[in-house]
Amino acid sequence: MVAPPIRARWRATLSRTIAPLALAALCGGAWAQPSYPTRAITLVVPFAAGGPTDVVARTLGASMSKTLGQSIVVENRTGAGGTLAPNHVARATPDGYTFLIHHNGMATAPALYRKLPYKPLADFDYVGQVADVPMTLLGRKDLPPDDMPTFVKYAHANAGKLNLANAGPGAVSQLCGMLLQEALGVQLTAIPYAGTAPALSALLGGQVDILCDQTTQTIPHIKAGNVKLYGVTTLQRIKTLPDTPTLDESGLKGFEVKVWHGIYAPKGTPPAAIETFNAALRAALKDPAFTRKMAELGADIVPPEKQTPQGLQTWLQAETEKWGAMIRKAGVYAD
Ligand code: MLT
């Protein structure tokens, strides 16, 4: 067989190469670059599996994955009061496949840790806020006081003897315990865990006396009567526990801790990925499967203006100033 002349062979090769490129150009590049997301997305949680942050992350992830058409894999990176996870995400490849869910700890860490290796306000892109969650003050089931006024007397009578479980410096359980200690005027011994899931197990096992923790983990144990419940940390009573007094009502005037949650991406994540992830977040915040579960666990979905990147950024800025001033005044440091 006689080989075709060189020019004819070259023309054939060229048309095989150029035709697909021309088609891709006509399709605006969509053919060459499949639309986001094309694989599973990782959502990093700073605390232990099974705990309150993890419950919000997994319920949210299940709902968002319905919109995204890809799974959201929750990764628990625990340690250092919830600061290891943001440090990891700040350094992750900003490709739209790694996100972080975190709470008030994003605002308190810069004041608590003088050597924080990341900057919450500078090292992330913002997706939006999720839900606000009240906290509950719990005692082990066999702790003698049955209500808050009796607990206050008991704490004074046992000054220096009560221990409080928490998720380490930077966790809201630690923040709540710090404020409680100040409000009571009694020294509490803090016992840190990798999250409030193991902290609650220690309370259920009677190894620690008290724990301040979010309703997203505590409601089932309160309803089952596994713990003593002394009060809620919001200024108003909450719908899921209507008969439970607030700590403010019980004499700790002005005592308020509300936990808020935001979603972040490493700085430099493509804006289109942030937009798609935010749209899936907003869809989840309307999804009955998510809203019903959050309502059962005492959490309030944030209003639409907080569900945006700008809503989260403005909020983080304000909270960083508020808690930063309080922590610096108290002179409490984690490092
Ligand atoms: C905390 O800050 O106490 C955390 O939310 C605990 C957790 O999620 O385990």
pLDDT tens for each residue of 262-288:
999 999 999 999 999 999 999 999 999
What distance in angstroms lies between residue 153's CA and the mean position of ligand 1's atoms? 28
Which ligand 1 atom is nearest residue 105's CA? 2
pLDDT tens for each residue of 217-261:
999 999 999 999 999 999 999 999 999 999 999 999 999 999 999
What distance in angstroms lies between residue 311's CA and the mean position of ligand 1's atoms? 23
Q: CA 244, CA 250: separation in Å to the nearest integer?
A: 10
Q: In this predicted structure, what is the pLDDT of residue 76?
A: 98
Global pTM reads 0.88
DSSP code at position 285: T
Q: Which residues line ligand 1 (CB under 6 A)?
A: 47-48, 51-53, 82, 103, 167, 171-173, 195-197, 214
- For the segment 207-214, the average pLDDT, to the nearest whole number, is 98
Q: How far is CA 215 from CA 159, 219, 234, 262, 314, in A?
A: 27, 5, 11, 17, 26
Tell which one of 43, 44, 45, 53 to mutate to probe ligand 1, the residue whose CB is within 8 A of the most ligand atoms: 53
CA atoms within 13 A on the CB side of 242: 1
Binning pLDDT at 50, 70 and 90, where does residue 199 land? Answer: very high
Beta-strand pair 98-102/41-45 = parallel
What distance in angstroms lies between residue 207's CA and the mean position of ligand 1's atoms? 19
What distance in angstroms lies between residue 74's CA and the mean position of ligand 1's atoms? 15
Spatial CA neighbour of 176 closest among 217, 231, 222, 216: 231
Q: In this predicted structure, what is the pLDDT of residue 194?
A: 94
Which ligand 1 atom is nearest residue 195's CA? 9
